[in-house]
């Protein structure tokens, strides 16, 4: 009987923890933000890890850094900054005065060089633009 009562208590607690008491759900979406500048070494050593810094402007006070979109094809790496954007009516645009820095670590494998393409936005024709940096690797 004690086991049944204990199991019932666990079941009730399990279901009650699933209730959503928070009705303040704020809708959000993700947005790619153009990278304005990059701090990357001029050469790599094979087998080492390097910190790469990207800099971007935060468009509004509803934008926050979420991470990177990172694509890898052969020795080419395409990197984009991703912001989470709160979908609110009271967002304030920010002046583009101070760059925001974000970093990621890059482990150097056995390639002879790496080509990084940092997404820099779109041109008037809607085509993606990149800051392209090729970094040789010392074996």
Identify the CATH number of the domain in which residue 117 sits.
Answer: 2.60.40
Q: Is it the case that residue 136 has pLDDT exceeding 60?
A: yes
pLDDT digits (tens, 9 = 90+) for 48-106: 999 999 999 999 999 999 999 999 999 999 999 999 999 999 999 999 889 999 999 99
Q: What is the mean pLDDT of the chain?
A: 89
**Structural domain that includes position 61:** 24-138
Looking at the chain, which runs of residues are DSSP E strands? 28-33, 37-39, 44-45, 49-56, 63-73, 76-86, 100-107, 113-122, 128-138
Domain count, the chain: 1
| Residue 11, domain member (yes or no) | no
Beta bridge pairs of residue 57? none
Q: How many CB atoms lie within 10 A of CB 103?
A: 11
Nearest-angstrom CA–CA distance, 122 and 41: 26
| Residue 18, domain member (yes or no) | no
Tokens for 77, please give them. 């790496």
Nearest-angstrom CA–CA distance, 41 and 123: 27
Cβ 35 vs Cβ 56: under 8 Å: yes
């Amino acid at each position: 009987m004690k086991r049944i009562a204990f199991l019932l208590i666990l079941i009730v607690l399990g279901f009650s923890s699933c209730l959503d008491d928070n009705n303040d759900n704020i809708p959000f979406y993700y947005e790619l933000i153009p990278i304005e500048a990059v701090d990357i070494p001029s050469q790599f050593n094979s087998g080492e890890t390097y910190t790469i810094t990207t800099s971007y402007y935060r468009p509004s006070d509803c934008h926050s850094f979420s991470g990177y979109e990172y694509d890898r094809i052969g020795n080419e790496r395409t990197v984009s900054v991703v912001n989470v954007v709160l979908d609110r009516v009271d967002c304030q645009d920010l002046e583009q005065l101070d760059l925001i820095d974000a970093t990621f670590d890059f482990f150097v494998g056995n390639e002879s060089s790496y080509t990084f393409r940092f997404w820099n936005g779109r041109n008037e024709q809607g085509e993606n633009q990149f800051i392209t940096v090729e970094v040789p690797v010392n074996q």
